[in-house]
Amino acid sequence: MFINGQWIQAKDQKEFSVLNPANGNVISRVPDGGEIEAGMAVTAAGEALPIWSSQTAYQRSAFLYEVHTLMMGNLEHLAQTMTQEQGKPIQAARNEVKYGADFFLWFAEEAKRIYGRTIPSSRGDQRFLVAKQPVGVVAAITPWNYPISMIARKVAPALAAGCTLVLKPAEATPLCAVEIFKLLERAGLPKGVANLVTALDPAPVGQVFMTDKRIAKLTFTGSTKIGKLLARGAIVQMKRVSLELGGHAPFIVCKDADPVHAAKGLSLVKFLNTGQACISPNRIYVHSTMKALFLKELKEKVVQMIPGNGMTPGVKIGPLVNAAAIEKVDNQVKDALHHGASLVIGGFRIMDKGLDKGYFYAPTILDHVIPKMRIYREETFGPVVPVISYEDEDDLLKMANDTDYGLAAYVYTKAYSTAMKFFEGLNFGIIGINDINPTSAAAPFGGMKMSGIGREGSFEGIEEYLETKLGGFSLNA
């Protein structure tokens, strides 16, 4: 763990193993921290806050630029660490490292654009001055599915704003966090400004994050269930909270769309990271008249997807994160088939070709999916495409919005009027119109309803780490 500028072991010397989900092999062992280490990290961050927040925006910006340079210079090492630890194909890992580095580059600039303002007063002897200042010590919890970019998306804006922080990465992917913190150290990070606590059991660390009064803000990316638990704990002390939680994205193929083009797009976004993405499409609405052509093209794409270890050239489908993920996906598929869905392809755990020791599930397409099936209501987080037929396009908005989640949605259409109707009518924070990658460091990322609170990326991302302060000045001193 990295606390107060030092690499340390847990106080009780406990460690836990990090496994490769493609073969079950132990990659490494890392310290198993808990309440004591989390408290030490918070203390370090609190003591470093006055020093870091008093640095100029240009000094913080220069540091973030250096981190970006180091990430790009170590791209291959970071990508290979990610593929071994998380499982995604190596090219996808390389892309994620670049995406993560983009956040350090973006917020290196945003650090210099934290502006205040003056407000006219009705009194001639009065002036109003508005200033921005860092919220204080930040506690950050990041997920396993994007173990580098999600760290960058929180660490970069927090540091740019002048905050100090404590990071608890997902227990499945601590090595990526360790490598990022090595680069922060190399970039000249002052001691205590950013701290890393690794833990097999996240509960004791999370408890510190919720209850320690020195922590001013809690930021979390993960499941809606855990996000709600953290939010309830944080509100007792009125901590600032930003949450990026689950999704259940609709993918709408309008009657005027090209079904072949839409199927190609879906195949790229749905099976990205083996479906383990919060913006992954989960409900695929296709008009009955074009469904046959859509399914034909989609099946052809799926047949070409090679599952296997992400380090193997040509592999497109990596493993799921663990055995529980396999069970969840398989149960959803079995439930759908039990209630009348048709299996187009897949629908089983892959146990041949030397993949039996990993957590591989075959890319799967289900047809005739209906609302009473679990997969229609629950986020899958796996390589399963549930196809839903529709007849009347006027019903699509209602069907797509019929979910507690509101993170991402996708629409394929050739008509601007249709595109605008769905953009305005869909209750989701991110809408891809003929676009399967509506994300960027420069664009706000976040959801509505049970998909979270707040935004990451863009200028909104740094606002999450800033307080607004008003000064009223009387000139009659």
- Residues designated catalytic: 244, 278
Rg, the chain, Cα only: 23
- Enclosing H/E stretch for 424: helix 416-425
Comparing CA positions, the residue from 105, 134, 102, 129 lying closest to residue 118 is: 129
Residue 346, helix vs strand vs coil? coil
- Cβ atoms of 271 and 240 within 8 Å: the answer is no
CA–CA gap between residue 329 and residue 323 (Å, rounded): 10
Interacting residues of 182 by C-beta distance below 8 A, sequence separation 6+: none
Q: Which amino acid is at 224?
A: T
**Within 13 Å and on the Cβ side, how many CA atoms surround 416?**
0
DSSP characters over 178-235:
HHHHHHHHHTTPPTTSEEE---SSHHHHHHHHHH-TTEEEEEEES-HHHHHHHHHHHH
- Cβ atoms of 337 and 359 within 8 Å: the answer is no
Q: Which amino acid is at 452?
A: G
Q: Could you give the C-alpha distances from 385 to 127, 183, 257, 260, 412, in angstroms and in order?
A: 59, 38, 19, 16, 16
User: For residue 435, what are its two tokens?
Assistant: 């676009």
Backbone angles phi, psi at 144, to 5 degrees: -90, -20
CA–CA gap between residue 348 and residue 362 (Å, rounded): 6
Comparing CA positions, the residue from 274, 317, 146, 135 lying closest to residue 222 is: 146
SS3 content of the chain, % helix, strand, coil (to 5): 40, 25, 35
In DSSP terms, 18 is beta-bridged to 28
Q: Which amino acid is at 469?
A: K
Q: Which amino acid is at 193?
A: V
